Every structure is written in C-alpha cells, then in structure tokens.
Structure 1
Amino acid sequence: MPDVVVNGRFLSRPITGVERYAGEITRRLEGRIRVCRPPDSAIGARGHLWEQMRLPRLVNGALLWSPANTGPVVVSRQVVTVHDVAPLDHPEWFEPRVGAWYRWLLPQLVKRVARVITVSQFSKTRLMERLGVPADRVVAIPNGVSGRFHPRPSAEVTRVTARYRLRAPYLLMVGSLEPRKNFDVVARAWAEAGPAFDGLTLAVVGDTRQTLQAAVPDPRLGWVRRLDDVHDTDLPALYAGAIGLVIPSLDEGFGLPLLEAMACGTPVVAARAGALPEVAGDAAIFVDPHDPASVAGGILRLVGDETVRQTCRARGLERAAAFDWDRSASMTWQVLSDAAGGAA
C-alpha cells in the first residue's frame, strides 16, 4: 500500500465547501493515510508558513495529498486538489494580499506536483486554459453529498427552525459571503420585487457579519436573517424547511450547497455560472447572476408556483442521488495510488 500523508491544514479552518470535501474524503481513507495537522496557532500567515516550511519535513518521502487548494511548492511528490481558479480569474474578489499570494502560489504548485485533482469539468477546463495544466495531469472527480442530507421529518424542521427563531416561508443562502457569492444581486432583486416578496425572509447561513453589514446597513430591513453560528448538524433541517435555496454566485468550482439542498428535497434557484449548471443539470431554476430582474423572476417563479417547486424537488432528489462521497473517495485513492506508483 502506498504511503500517503494528508496536508491537514484544512482542519484548522471554518467549514466551507472546501473543508467539507477534505473531511469527507479523508474520513473514507482512514487506515490508508496519515494526516499531518498544524498546531492550533497556525492560522492565516502562520498557517502558510507551516505549510511551506514545516510540512515538507514531516512528509519524509511519502506522497503528499493537499486537498484544499494550497500545498508546499518544494514537494513535487504531491497531489493537490484545486477547487477553482477564481483568484486568478477575478483577483478583484479577494483581499489584495490574499489574491497576490494565490496568484503566485497556484501556477508554481500545479507546475511542480505529480497530479492535480479538481471537482468539476468546468474547473478542469479552467485549469487547462488558465494555467496550462496538461489534460492527462488533471482529473475531475465530482464531490458527493453526505447521507445526513435528506428530507427531514417535519417535527425536526420545526424544532430546528424554532431554535434559530426562523419562520416560514424563508429562502436560504449558505456559505461565506465573499464578493463572488453575489449577495448584492439578491439585495437588488429584493428591492426590485418590492411587495411581491412581502412576508418572505432570506436566511443567510455562514460568516456574514461584515458582508451583510456592508450590504444591509439598516437593521430595520427585516427581510434578512443572519445565522452566523449554525451548528453543522442543524443544516439539513434548515435546508429541508426552506421554500428554496438561492445560489447566485458569479463563479463556483462546484457549488456544494446546491447539491446538499437538492438532496434535502429543497428547490434551487441558481446562477447560470461556473460549475453550477454542470452540477444541477435540469433540476434548478437558472438565472443571470448579473441581472437583479432575472434573479427576482427566478425567485418569484419558485415561491409562487407549487407545481414548479414539486418538479424541482423531484428532479433535485434524483440528481443528488448520482453524487456519492464513497465513489469520490475511491476515485481519489486511485489517483493517489497511481501518483505514488503503488497498486490501488
């Protein structure tokens, strides 16, 4: 069996789609891998220093798998998962120092490592076009969806939504609201729809403090509910209780909340951007993420028509069933084994 070490830097970060991916695959490879975790103090710049300076000494000749976009550039016996190339395509979405670091790191890293994994055909194409990665060195392995994301009983939904003082009907947005998540277009869509959205709440799950304070500075605008500290185990019930999920991102390497929502039986309004059409297939209502009127129209179509919601629900459940973390882990292990020169 090949000797594989996992770059465990993702374990010290809040859970977003990247960290969920890394955790799901790593758990399924237990017994075949060793995880190197940085000290708790290694966050931010210290985390980068640990990854670039300390981690290479801990690998000790094994194959390194870096599952969360970054890895030590001096380790060539490495497989890195790059989820998207947004810092290169759209540096304006990132804090200048962060963007500059990724614009230096990613080209160096993908040029030196043995293999690159990514999570969608969209991201594979962008890696090939933007960074010149040969097709035979990058493998697209789609994400899965955890079995705990499924339609939940009404009693559980009632209990969880009451805990967060959330009343139906509500739309859900999930994720850290960096600029590419495009909250601003939803705010403008809400303003454009006017009374048509009366009684509807937008519940935003994630670290929303700075983003929403900038976008919605007046706390009297009661259509937004910030849910900054949602426990991960409550997320399936919040999906299941929502009238729909809205994911208006300008770019996504995959879009895991879309898949999780569909698995919970929640209809989705999604941007026709990035990998979202690839993941959703025909199971979502697609909108133009640059056009508030298009976003408002998609939301109105969803909330105003039970037949549309039932169609999206049925198609979403069927679509989500095609994505499986066990299969993703098996495909990942095959890439790692091939890169290590061992038998799968």
Structure 2
Amino acid sequence: MTKLTVCVDGRLRDSAQTGVASYGHALREALATVGHPSWLLDDATVGRFGVPSTRVEAIRRRCRAVLPMPVRLRIDGERRALHASDIFRLAQVRFLATGRMLELHAPGKPAIMHWTYPIPARIAGWTNLYTVHDVIPLATPHLTPIDPEALRARIACVAATADRLVAVSPWARRAIVDAFDFPDAFVVDCGSSVSRMLPGDGRLPAGLTAGSYFLYCGLLEARKNIDCMVEAWRRSGSILPLVVAGPADPKEAAMRHALRERGVIVLPYQSRPALIDLMAGACALVLVSLEEGFGLPVVEAMALGTPVLTADRGALAETAGDAAMRVDPTNVEAVAMGFRRLGEDPALRRSLAEAGLRHAARFTPAAFGARLTGFYAGLAR
C-alpha cells in the first residue's frame, strides 16, 4: 500500500447522468494524465445509483447505522481499489439517523481521500478532502429541488472533520465561504476539466444536420432558466430548431412534454458519445442558467469548437471568460438577440469557435491534474 497516495470515491463511477459523476470521471482522468493514477473507493451499490434497496438491505442498513461501529475496508490490488460491502448508502442512513459521520478504517499507510461530494464519511487517520460543487440551495432555494437545510447540515457535519473543502470555481468557493463563514484557506478552488470527450459515429438524430440547430443539454431545473431560453428562441425568429437533451428523469416528463408543445425538439437520453456528437454539430450551445457552480457544458462545447451563448454573471461568466457570447439571463430580449446573432452571423460563430478552443486549454485533464497535484503536495508539507 505504500504507492497508494490518492483515493477517489467511486459512488457514481458507472453513472453518466449527473454533474457530480462527470466531475468524478474528470478527477481520475486528470490524475492519470499527469502520471498520478488514483485508487478507487467503492462498494456493492456502485452501478445501482437511483435503484432502491431491497427491503432486507434497507432493514440491515438501518440496524447498522445506529451502531457506532467503523467499517473496515479491504484492498483489491488488481482493481486498485478499497472496498466494503456498503459505504455510501450506509453513510447517508447513519447521518440521517444520528447526525454522525461514518468512520472507515483502511489498511496500510495514511493517504489522501478525495470525496467527490460531501458524503458523510471519512477514512480515519487519512487526509480527507470533500468537493462541494455549489451552495445554490442555501442562497436561492426556489431554484432547486434540493432541501437547503439538509444540505447545510451535511456540509457542516463534513466540514467539522475535513482537512479542506474543494470548490470547482472561484464563484462557488466564495459562495461556500460566505454561506458558512469558513476561513478563506479552508476552501480551495481547484476547478474542473473536460473528460470522456470521445465522439460517437457522427450520426445525428433524424431531422438534424450539423451546424443547423441550437443545443441545450442538462436538467430542466428552475435554475437552468428554461422558460426564458425557450421564449427567447421563439422571439428571435430563428429558423434553426432548439434541441434539448438531458437525463431521462421521470420527474421532468411533464416539462419535456410542455417543451415539445412549444416547438422544441426534445431528445430521449443520449449516450455520452452521442451527446459529444450533438455538441460538436450544434450551431451553438446555449446555457443561460441563473445559477451554476461551474458550467461544464460551456467548456465541453468550446473544446469541440462549438460557439457558446451563456449568462453574463456568476460561475458561467467566470468559466466562459471572453470566449462566449454572454447575455443577461433575466432579459428575454437580450437572450433572443444572442440567438439571432449566432444564427445569422457565420463570422461571429467562427470567431467564438476559435476563441473557445483557446480558452478550453485551461480546462484540459493535464491542467486540472497539475492543479490537483499541486494542491495535494501543499497539504503534505
């Protein structure tokens, strides 16, 4: 175990439907790119994200949750993994039942454990780092379905024993510090990166041709400003269709139906390679959210040479820099003008595509890996 220096939780290792999952993939890819491959912490529930436990599993977990017993991890050298039968769901149940963290014990020398989310668990004796992607529910609870008090309690619990919290953008870092009155040095912005950018077969869904549609990809939460985006597209008079692609969340079925009624092309779930093809073929990616922690689709589109229409404030403005068309996300006419200009001005699209490619170099796995390893090295001093 002497070579084990960084371990990353694999709670969403087999998922591609959340920003946290994308971050976990990016984290491990970045470390591998700079010659610092990580180990993986996982359990038997990996690959079952969103799948309910059986009745027997739930009862057994509730019984274990109230007992102050640590979980002992096993080494799987072939997979470079630390493993136990139940970590992630047990940690949540214990926290809800007792307000306490789940303590894990690992064999070998202490190392760094980088949790990709504020999971209420820690490896005893190790350096435990927790990425907090945003605190949007605390400042603007009407924009997200996440319970703000539950999130506040979880972050406070984790922070009480964490060595550092990790943010994904300067905007998110400032919001976290302000929300909890943490010392500045306790929350560190390491950014993020593009990951898994391999394209598919290049075939677009029926009716779409490259360069002839606008694309939004993501959830349909209130913070994504979907109504404004759709109304702006309609007012723009653009002949190019607006395409919406994202996770097939059953809770969003009514919203997806309403979008189709307004003329939007709503696609079923797309595999990661198919989504990359959609991004690469779009006239422009549109992301005019009211709040984001980072805004990963902006950077992904730029890395593919696709122009971006985004918000002129918050994390999106930071992430996009001067390489995107930025508009007031609360002003429908401003967003409509963005649609018109991008749809009608090939020279503008070429200019933004070139600027985006240059800007995306800041968010490569190598750049992210360098920031991470520099951060880890600083902790060891």
TM-score, normalised by the number of residues in structure 1: 0.84
Aligned pair 1:90/2:140, yes or no? Answer: yes
Letter in 2 for 1:213: A
Letter in 2 for 1:101: A
Query: Do the aligned residues in 2 keep the contact of 1:9 with 1:51 (CA within 8 Å)?
Result: no
1:185–1:58 distance in 2 versus 1, CA, 3 Å: farther
1:295–1:208 distance in 2 versus 1, CA, 3 Å: farther
Name the structure, 1 or 2, with higher relative contact order (CA <8 Å, separation 6+): 1
Letter in 2 for 1:166: L
After TM superposition, give the deviation of residue 283 of structure 1 in Å.
1.1
Letter in 1 for 2:330: H
Query: Do the aligned residues in 1 keep the contact of 2:144 with 2:223 (CA within 8 Å)?
Result: no
After TM superposition, give the deviation of residue 185 of structure 1 in Å.
0.8
Residue of structure 2 aligned with 1:180, choices 223, 234, 256: 223
Unaligned 5+ runs, structure 2: 54-86, 95-100
Query: Do the aligned residues in 2 keep the contact of 1:250 with 1:271 (CA within 8 Å)?
Result: yes
Deviation string 1:228-267 (CA, Å, 9 cap, x unpaired) is 3211012222112111010011111111100111111111
* Alignment-derived partner of residue 89 in structure 2: 49
Deviation string 1:107-144 (CA, Å, 9 cap, x unpaired) is 33234310111111111111221122212222211222
Aligned pair 1:115/2:120, yes or no? Answer: no
After TM superposition, give the deviation of residue 213 of structure 1 in Å.
2.7
Residue of structure 2 aligned with 1:136, choices 176, 185, 193: 185
1:219–1:183 distance in 2 versus 1, CA, 3 Å: closer
Measured in 1, the distance between the counterparts of 2:240 and 2:15 equals 32
Aligned length in residues: 329
Query: Do the aligned residues in 1 keep the contact of 2:233 with 2:336 (CA within 8 Å)?
Result: yes
Moved more, 243-252 or 58-67: 58-67
After TM superposition, give the deviation of residue 95 of structure 1 in Å.
2.8
Letter in 1 for 2:140: H
After TM superposition, give the deviation of residue 4 of structure 1 in Å.
3.6
1:288–1:170 distance in 2 versus 1, CA, 3 Å: same
Measured in 2, the distance between the counterparts of 1:272 and 1:63 equals 37
Residue of structure 1 aligned with 2:155, choices 78, 83, 106: 106
Query: Do the aligned residues in 2 keep the contact of 1:110 with 1:133 (CA within 8 Å)?
Result: no
Letter in 1 for 2:277: A
Letter in 2 for 1:282: D
After TM superposition, give the deviation of residue 204 of structure 1 in Å.
1.2
Measured in 1, the distance between the counterparts of 2:112 and 2:214 equals 44
Measured in 1, the distance between the counterparts of 2:329 and 2:344 equals 20
Query: Do the aligned residues in 1 keep the contact of 2:4 with 2:39 (CA within 8 Å)?
Result: no
Aligned pair 1:35/2:77, yes or no? Answer: no
* Alignment-derived partner of residue 170 in structure 1: 213
Query: Do the aligned residues in 2 keep the contact of 1:285 with 1:298 (CA within 8 Å)?
Result: yes
1:144–1:217 distance in 2 versus 1, CA, 3 Å: closer
Which has the larger share of helix? Answer: 1
Instruction: Report the structure number with the largest CA radius of gyration.
Output: 2
Unaligned 5+ runs, structure 1: none
1:80–1:59 distance in 2 versus 1, CA, 3 Å: farther
Q: Secondary structure at the match of 1:217?
A: helix
Measured in 2, the distance between the counterparts of 1:12 and 1:132 equals 35
1:145–1:4 distance in 2 versus 1, CA, 3 Å: closer
Measured in 2, the distance between the counterparts of 1:192 and 1:28 equals 42
* Alignment-derived partner of residue 79 in structure 1: 129
Query: Do the aligned residues in 2 keep the contact of 1:270 with 1:287 (CA within 8 Å)?
Result: yes
Mapping of residues 209-228 of structure 1, within 5 Å: 210-211=251-252, 213-214=254-255, 217=258, 219-221=260-262, 223-228=263-268
